[in-house]
Amino acid sequence: CCCQCHFCSMSTAVVKYCIVCLCCMYKYFCVLLQVLGFEVDTVNSVQFSNHTGYAHWKGQVLNSDELHELYEGLKLNKVNRYDYVLTGYTRDTSFLAMVVDIVQELKQQNSNLVYVCDPVMGDKWNGEGSMYVPKDLLPVYRDKVVPVADIITPNQFEAELLTGRKIHTEKEALEVMDILHAMGPETVVITSSDLQAPLGNDYLIALGSHRKTKADGTKMTQRIRVESPKVDAVFVGTGDLFAAMLLAWTHKHPNNLKVACEKTVSAMQHVLQRTIKSAKAQAGEGNKPNSAQLELRMVQSKKDIENPEIIVKATVL
């Protein structure tokens, strides 16, 4: 079905549902959203020759003045009414602060606008967390961005950074998500963690929490756990893919985080399994696939993106 939903994406590459993508997202993910019925405008936070999973890259980082100029162009043509804003990777604090100003202005025009933020800051390797963006982005995300976001998709390390709390158990993860809810977002999804999965060591845990205020003022929270099979490879762009897919499926299932996450994670599994199969075939038996061979097979996965077979089920907590 085709939704007339406008979306602004500030990403590497993402607006009738119109989305504006502000920040670095791969061009394939804009196509993904278009395939799912969204109109997408894209503002690139960075313009790189290739993603940073390669040994080398060249390019430019957009700053706040440049973002402001692009947004003013949209305003002059009166095409700056959006239903969603999606943000991902950026390396510039002034750009990030300008994103907040733009989101607040867009919400004044459309009170139903949903802002989906992937607070890309770092990750854990072998149990140790490390930031791969400038450290001065953290207070901007924590104090300015997260409070205006409706949906956030941090990994475990990013959730720990935003709250100042370490996560060792599922109970602690749920407490961290409560803190994040209190900061602003109605929906919090910790996209990956190093928590022990009930299904075993070959599975990766994601946790989701959706908090809604009912008409009588009371709050209702839906919490879920998703266990997905680990894939023995390092992919770049999975966080972008998760955020874009979650936006699409929460739009289609606005009051059912369980179904939205099942479709998101199942689609991702189809993409990753197709990618690793292709990468191994290209690398040859006994050889480790390189970054180019591990580029996500998005186009080849079009059918799975449009209508994913549910192969990963979520557990309601």
pLDDT (mean) for 44-59: 74
The pLDDT of residue 9: 58
pLDDT over 60 (residue 219):
yes
Write down the mean pLDDT value for the chain. 88
Tell me the C-alpha distance between 242 and 311, whole Å.
16
Beta bridge partners of 204: 228
The pLDDT of residue 196: 94
pLDDT (mean) for 177-182: 98
- Stretch among 48-57, 108-117, 147-156 having the lowest mean pLDDT: 48-57
The tens digit of pLDDT for each residue in 78-125 reads 888 899 999 988 888 998 999 999 999 999 999 999 999 999 999 988
pLDDT bucket at 45, cuts 50 / 70 / 90: confident
Containing structural domain, residue 27: 5-316
DSSP for residue 176: H
Active site amino acids: 240
Number of domains observed in the structure of the chain: 1
pLDDT over 80 (residue 16):
no
CATH of the domain at 118: 3.40.1190.20
| Unique residue bearing structure tokens 């930031």 | 131
Specify the long-range contacts of residues 59-64, CB closer than 8 Å, at least 24 apart.
Answer: 61/90, 61/91, 61/92, 61/95, 62/90, 62/92, 62/95, 63/92, 63/94, 63/95, 64/92, 64/94, 64/95, 64/97, 64/98
